[in-house]
Amino acid sequence: MPSLKDLKNRISSVKSTQKITKAKQMVAAAKLRRAEERATQARPYTERMEAVLGNLASGAKDNPGAPKLLAGTGKDETHLLIVATADKGLCGGFNSSIVRLAREHIIRLQGEGKTVKIVCVGRKGEEQLKRLYGELIIWKTNFVEVRQIGFAEAHEIAEKVLGMFDAGEFDVATLFFGKFKNVVTQTPTAQQVIPAQAPESARTPDLKGAVYDYEPDEGEILRALLPRYVGVQIFRALLENVASEQAASMTAMDNATRNAGEMIDKLTLQYNRARQAQITKELIEIISGAEAL
């Protein structure tokens, strides 16, 4: 049985931990408000771009002169997985859920005889994937020293991915990230970005029978729009990740704070019982000694 000193030291240690988790919870809550605003503000632009892309691509995809980013390479042999996670931990199962989804895709693709390459955006994803698939990771990046992620970081990643596609290093690229819904819900999401295809949820505007003539033509517009579309999708994923990370961190730290409080209550009760037992023992020894005299 632990001594009173050991119990007292443990209570003090848990109280210190509780102060840290409470402080991290408050920091995550403050960061979440800003991150949620940025992610929410980016969605209308992304959704509108997806709608425009879907409208343009519907008539140009089967055209022999369609851009390569839309039509693809004509093959489905080499897949690039862009796995975007956080750079830091202490955010519950946020990083693990994204990596788990990516692993499921890897297993399925390898089972079909496909070649898989991985790009890790975020340190935690790379740390988890390298244990089993280290040989598949071709490059990695993180934003540990970046105070606020901007489009420049997403554009840099997009340029590298587009350069690899132009060089024929892969046929299909899929982006993995955590989509922010609310404080308690962050959904691991996989979205194909090359060849570009608008998500099924993308809203195509109702033209009410009207026909638009594009100047310049659809193909030229798509050639200018598609590279930006890839960059915008990566930027949206990074913003969603930041909001999801802070929400998961806030929830995890709240749970840790409450668990620490419960542990303090149990240890305090154990300490009081041990102290009471020690006092009782000392009283019995004093009374026994007095009676012996």
**Poorest-pLDDT segment among 64-78, 207-221, 243-257:** 207-221
Q: What is the pLDDT of residues 187-246, one digit of tens each?
A: 888 888 888 776 555 555 555 665 656 666 666 777 777 888 888 888 888 888 888 888
Q: Please give the model's pTM, rounded to 2 decimal places.
A: 0.79
CB 260 within 8 A of CB 17: yes
Domain 39-249 fold:
Pyruvate Kinase; Chain: A, domain 1 (3.40.1380)
Question: What is the reported pLDDT for 176?
Answer: 92
β-pairing verdict for 172-182 and 78-84? parallel
DSSP conformational letter for 147: S
The residues assigned a catalytic role are: 91
Query: pLDDT-derived band of residue 153, with 50, 70 and 90 as boundaries?
Result: confident
- The Cα–Cα gap between 119 and 198 comes to 22
Q: Is the bond into 195 cis (omega within 30 degrees of 0)? A: yes
More confident residue, 185 or 268: 268
- The Cα–Cα gap between 36 and 165 comes to 32
| Nearest alpha-carbon partner for 86 in 240, 250, 254, 255 | 240
Residues 6+ apart with CB under 8 A from 169: 78, 80, 117
Q: What is the pLDDT of residues 99-146, one digit of tens each?
A: 899 999 999 988 888 888 888 888 888 888 888 888 888 888 887 666
CB 73 within 8 A of CB 168: yes
β-pairing verdict for 185-194 and 172-182? antiparallel
Q: Is 98 exposed, middle or buried (0-12, 13-18, 19+ CB in 10 A)?
A: buried
Question: What is the reported pLDDT for 81?
Answer: 92
Which amino acid type is present at position 124?
Answer: K
Residues, the chain: 293
Which amino acid type is present at position 227?
Answer: P
Residue 286 has pLDDT above 70, yes or no: yes
Question: What is the reported pLDDT for 216?
Answer: 64
Average pLDDT over residues 240-269: 88
CB 89 within 8 A of CB 182: no
Q: What is the pLDDT of residues 20-62, one digit of tens each?
A: 888 888 888 888 888 888 888 888 888 887 777 777 666 555 5
- The Cα–Cα gap between 51 and 58 comes to 11
